[in-house]
Amino acid sequence: MIIDAHCDLLYQLWKYDYDVNSSEFLQFDLTKWRNSPVRVQAFAIFVPSSVPSDQQYDVALKMIDLFFEKIIIPNPDIIHIKTKTDLENLQPNQLGAMLTLEGCHPIGMNLNKLTKMIDYGVRMVGLTWNNNNAVADSIMSAKREGITAFGQEVIQLLNQESIWIDVSHLSIKGFYDVINQADHVIASHSNAFTICQHPRNLDDYQIKALIERDGLIGLTFVPEFTKASASVEIADLFTHIDHFITIGALNHLGFGSDFDGITETIMGLSSVTDYASLQDQLIKRYSQSTINKISYQNFLKKFPRTK
Ligand SMILES: [Zn+2]
């Protein structure tokens, strides 16, 4: 069983109207999902910054519509995960689907818009994508300020509602503001900076801070976050896993593939079905207890919302 903390299927469905059941253009579709070891998938609402700001919230709502119309309603075996109990009650013949937000830009400076998204089931909120917004600056921008006054209201709301605050994409200053203020922290799709020097990865101080706050880190399959090389292999992910474990993150590691958010893929890991190959290789290298922790137990244990 695997729980995956990040994919961008909703964005692909919104942008291209691909067939959710099966499409050669999708790294994650329902057929591939059913043929994979992934039991629970987080689906990100990701509104590209090219959408004019006065239309971004409508696009976010449209992606929520797609989540229900294409994934939840037509498929009785797919359960909308809103609480830890939903996760624990998931039956062997069922799949779990969770809504997340990647970047707070669609809410502008309106807290009610975020409340509404939480009402629809959003359970993990990334404060920024690669663009700056009213909440905070991104790690990918030249201006790297931390959490704004409005951002502090956002964090307060997310704490009250027991929602995971996602620090992937966030500026370093923003990261430590969240570490100081958030009740529940996750980096849903980031690797280790010591192993691959990409700004989207977490340095050792950040990893240790996340461990201290009982956070979760989703190992991601973005090739350029894994190895600075033209060809990246599944084994290159193990270098990251080993490093995370060496600095004490065994109980804080999970997966956040970023399928359908990436155009290049790791060799042998080009769609969600290839999680089976990853599993085969994990079994040769790590104990079953380590694999279980990374695959689902850590996520399950730390999922913040109980009711
Ligand atoms: Zn992302």
- Residue 182, pLDDT > 90, answer yes
Number of structural domains (the chain) is: 1
Q: Is residue 173 part of a domain?
A: yes
DSSP at 129: S
Please give the helix or strand (H or E) that residue 177 lies within, else none. Answer: helix 172-181
**22, part of any domain:** yes
Cβ-based neighbour number of residue 77 at 10 Å: 10
Structure confidence at residue 176 as a pLDDT band (50, 70, 90): very high
Query: How much distance in Å is there from the Cα of 137 to the middle of ligand 1?
Result: 14
- 307 in a domain, yes or no? no
List, for residues 97-153, the tens digit of each pLDDT value. 999 999 999 999 999 999 999 999 999 999 999 999 998 999 998 888 999 999 999
- The domain containing residue 265 runs over which residues? 2-302
Task: Find the 91 Cα to ligand 1 centroid distance in Å.
Answer: 30
Burial bucket for residue 149 (CB in 10 Å: 0-12, 13-18, 19+): exposed
* Nearest alpha carbon to residue 138 among 200, 187, 195: 200
CA of 8 to the centre of ligand 1 (A): 8
Tens digit of pLDDT for each residue in 42-85? 999 999 999 999 999 999 999 999 999 999 999 999 999 999 99
Centre of ligand 1 to C-alpha 12, Å, is 14
Quote the ligand 1 centre to 189 CA distance (angstroms): 7
If you measure from the C-alpha of residue 124 to the centroid of ligand 1, how many angstroms do you get, rounded to a whole number? 13
CB neighbourhood size of 10 (10 A): 27
Q: How far is the CA of 7 from the centre of ligand 1 (A)?
A: 8
Can you count the helices (H) and strands (E) in the chain? Answer: 13, 9
Q: What is the CATH number of the domain that holds 253?
A: 3.20.20.140
73 within some domain: yes
pTM over 0.95: yes
Mean pLDDT confidence for 250-277: 98
Residue 111, domain member (yes or no):
yes
